[in-house]
Amino acid sequence: MAPKKTTTPDFEKSLGELEKLVEKMEQGDLSLESSLEHFEKGVQLSRTCQQALREAEQKVEILMQKNEQDSEGNLKPFDSEDA
């Protein structure tokens, strides 16, 4: 089963960009205007990362709930092929 493609940017890519922005801002070489632009972009990237984490958490919750009980209410072991 192929993973679903989403329109949201890759979490790792967004986090990497955010880290680079923070490093650049911490150097203190940016003008006020550039600092504000970097900060604004950082806020957007942070929100993107938070959304991706929320979505991943929801998927884990759904998978765990599906795994906790089968249709008869009996506990069953987790099987990644069911996901």
For 26-68, how does the pLDDT look when each residue is reduced to its tens digit (9 = 90+)? 999 999 999 999 999 999 999 999 999 999 999 998 888 877 7
Looking at residue 79, what is its pLDDT? 66
Residue 48 within a domain? yes
CA distances from 17 to 14, 38, 41, 57, 75 (A): 5, 11, 9, 22, 43
Looking at the domain assignment, is residue 1 inside a domain? no
Q: Kindly state whether residue 40 falls inside one of the protein's structural domains.
A: yes
Total structural domains within the chain: 1
**Mean pLDDT across the stretch 3-15?**
71
Residue 72 lies in a domain: no
Domain containing 39 equals 12-24+33-67
- 80: in domain: no
Residue 22 near residue 42, CB atoms below 8 Å: yes
Q: What pLDDT was estimated at residue 32?
A: 94
pTM: 0.65
Higher pLDDT, 3 or 78: 78
> What is the C-alpha R_g of the chain?
20
